Structure 1
Amino acid sequence: MENESINNFELYEEDLRIVLSDIHNLIGEIRGYYDERRKVAISAVERAFDEANEIIGQMEIEILQIPLSLRPQKKIKIQNYMAEIGRIRKEFDRLYQYEQYTEPFTLNEDLESLDQRNRLLRGTRKLEESSERLKNAQRIAEETKEIGANILRDLGYQREQIVMTKNTLVEADSYVDKSMRTLKTMARRVTTNKLITYLIIFVLASLIFAIIWSKLT
Structure 2
Amino acid sequence: MDNSPTALFDSYEQDFRQIIDSIRLKLDGEGKDERGEQRRATLRRVEMELDEADEMISQMEIEIQGIPQSIKPQYQNRLKTAKGDLLRFKKLSKDLHSQVSRAELLSSGRVGTPTSDEPYGPTSDRTRLLSGTATLEDGTRRLQESQRIALETEDQGAEILMNLRMQREQIENSRDTLRTADTAIDRASGTLKKMIRRMYQQRVITAAIIVVLVLVIAIILWEKVFR
TM (norm. structure 2) is: 0.57
Distance 1:53 1:127 in 2: 15
The 5 A counterparts of 1:1-217 are: 2-3=2-3, 6-7=6-7, 9-28=9-28, 32-60=33-61, 63=64, 69-96=70-97, 104=105, 127-175=148-196, 178=199
Count of residue correspondences: 193
Shift of 1:9: 3.8
Asked whether the 8 Å contact 2:26–2:46 carries over to 1, the reply is yes
Shift of 1:79: 3.2
Q: 1:21 to 1:2 in 2, by over 3 A?
A: closer
Task: For 1:15, give the aligned amino acid.
Answer: D
Asked whether the 8 Å contact 1:6–1:66 carries over to 2, the reply is yes
Q: State the structure with bigger RCO (CA 8 A, min sep 6), 1 or 2.
A: 1
Distance 2:190 2:11 in 1: 50
Asked whether the 8 Å contact 2:20–2:53 carries over to 1, the reply is yes
Distance 2:180 2:96 in 1: 61
Higher helix share: 1
Report sequence identity in percent.
Answer: 19
Shift of 1:167: 2.0
Q: 1:152 to 1:12 in 2, by over 3 A?
A: closer
Asked whether the 8 Å contact 1:57–1:136 carries over to 2, the reply is no
Unaligned runs of 5+ in 2: 110-124, 221-227
Q: 1:82 to 1:125 in 2, by over 3 A?
A: farther
Secondary structure at the residue paired with 2:75?
Answer: helix
Task: For 2:161, give the aligned amino acid.
Answer: I
- Comparing 88-97 and 121-130, the one that deviates more: 121-130
Could you say what the CA RMSD is over the residues aligned between the two structures, in angstroms?
4.6
Task: For 2:15, give the aligned amino acid.
Answer: D
Task: For 1:138, give the aligned amino acid.
Answer: E
Asked whether the 8 Å contact 1:16–1:55 carries over to 2, the reply is yes
- Comparing 179-188 and 24-33, the one that deviates more: 179-188
Secondary structure at the residue paired with 2:170?
Answer: helix
Asked whether the 8 Å contact 2:9–2:60 carries over to 1, the reply is yes
Shift of 1:85: 0.9
TM (norm. structure 1) is: 0.59
Distance 1:146 1:97 in 2: 44
Distance 2:7 2:176 in 1: 28
Task: For 1:18, give the aligned amino acid.
Answer: Q
Q: 1:128 to 1:11 in 2, by over 3 A?
A: same
Distance 2:18 2:194 in 1: 66
Q: 1:83 to 1:14 in 2, by over 3 A?
A: same
Task: For 1:24, give the aligned amino acid.
Answer: R
